[in-house]
Amino acid sequence: MTDAAELDLPFFDYSAPDLTGEVYHRRLAETARHGWLAQAPLSYVVLDRESAEFFLRSRATAFPGPQIADLFGVTGGRLREQIDANIVNQTGERHRRLRSLVGPAFAPRAAGRWRPVMRGFLDGLWDPARTSCDAVEAFARPYPALTIAAVFGAPAADAPRLQAWSAWVQRQFDIRALAADLPAIERATAEVYAYVEDLLAARRDAPGDDLLSTLLAAEDEGDRLSRAECVNLVLNVMAGGIDTMQAQLAHALRLFAEHPDQWALLAAEPGRAARAVDEVLRFEPITPFTARVCLEPVEFRGVAFPAGAIVAVCAERANRDEGEEFDITAVREHRPLTFGAGAHYCLGANLARAELEEALAFLAPRMPGLALDGPPRLGGVEGIYGVESLPVRWRPPR
């Protein structure tokens, strides 16, 4: 067995300023040509499906939220409180308990219930007189925030605020933003805590037909969420369910604008939306890297990782083990790792899939000949891989 530190590994800088678009995919592919393991600024990186699944599923690893917070001096205040309480940072029995209490509220049927509401929002955002737009501004930004507001029974007028908070709070997972924008992330976290506490108080007095009321009533063998757990979960879901969806929908529309034949297939048969969503998630994961810290010494493929070692898990390479072509008709063997794997598999995956499917099935027949109308502005890939703007045009439907 060899210590990871003794290996002569290729270096992959996931915080390089030019790491986006095709440069990012090319650089990752070049690094992976040297093998499944690389060195990165604060961690190792694993670059194929088997190694990615191993580190995500291992009970000897955890999400390194508190370790990263310590590195960036986030040692107190509401952001640290949120990081320590975040479901993604819980392990063992504590995590299992939270998942069994809230899991049913996010099951496929529960998520599917919101599909008519989603279609209503898409209809409201659609302007039949237009044949060009910035697809981020027109759809990808407003739609997930409206959906999350509806799911929680929050007023639709609050959606823009929720969207802005989500963008900031999610930057706790982005090491470049933690270094540059910490005060703004702290401020947004404090604001969203106050908002969620008010919303919960109102719902406790007047329960409704929404997720918040379901969580408040959630019970598992006599066990219930405490008030603090409820606040933190709502905050996790609000923050985790908007920015991610915005990014994934924007990349989906970008990919289709770049692959007109695939868009035409979908427009002709919107029933292909579920398959199309799978392929978008596989091909352009907006969570290209997540991470694990080794809680004890871990061995994989003859390499020893000491306790405390941080391993970035690359979903992009893991997913592309099954091909470098974007093809919504291809049959793939594996589920993409874009939502993670194992105990922390994305709680909102069913809701996210439903939102993406509804959006693609709605837009494809209405936007024939979708094409880029200028270069998209893409974000960095070290946190959530977002799209800042996406100019597109299309022919008026016949």
Q: Provide the binding-site residues for ligand HEM, judged by CB under 6 A.
A: 63, 87-88, 99, 236-237, 240-241, 244-245, 248, 286-287, 290, 338-340, 344, 346-348, 351-352
Nearest 5°: the CA angle 239, 250, 391 is 130
- In the complex with ligand HEM, the residue whose CB is nearer, 220 or 373, is 220
Please identify, using beta-carbon distances, which residue of 241 and 376 lies nearer to ligand HEM. 241
- Considering the complex, what minimum distance in angstroms separates the CB of residue 380 from ligand HEM? 16
Q: Considering the complex, state which of residue 348 and residue 386 has its C-beta at the smaller distance from ligand HEM.
A: 348
First to last CA, the chain: 65
**Shortest Å distance, C-beta 206 to ligand HEM:** 23
With respect to ligand HEM, which residue has the nearer C-beta, 74 or 341? 341
Q: Kindly state the smallest distance separating residue 246's Cβ from ligand HEM, in Å.
A: 9
Least separation, in Å, of the C-beta of 304 and ligand HEM? 22
In the complex, the smallest distance separating the C-beta of residue 35 from ligand HEM, rounded to whole angstroms, is 23
Q: Are strands 310-314 and 44-46 parallel, antiparallel or unpaired?
A: parallel
Contact partners, residue 156, CB within 8 Å, separation at least 6 = 146, 149, 150
Report the nearest approach of ligand HEM to the CB of residue 42 (Å): 16
Q: Which is nearer to ligand HEM, 244 or 394 (CB)?
A: 244
Give the nearest residue (CB) to ligand HEM: 348
Four-CA torsion 88, 94, 100, 101, nearest 10 degrees: -90
* Residue closer to ligand HEM, measured from CB, 177 or 239: 239
> Shortest gap between Cβ of 89 and ligand HEM (angstroms)?
8
Please tell me the total number of residues recorded for the chain in this structure.
398
In the complex with ligand HEM, the residue whose CB is nearer, 267 or 352, is: 352
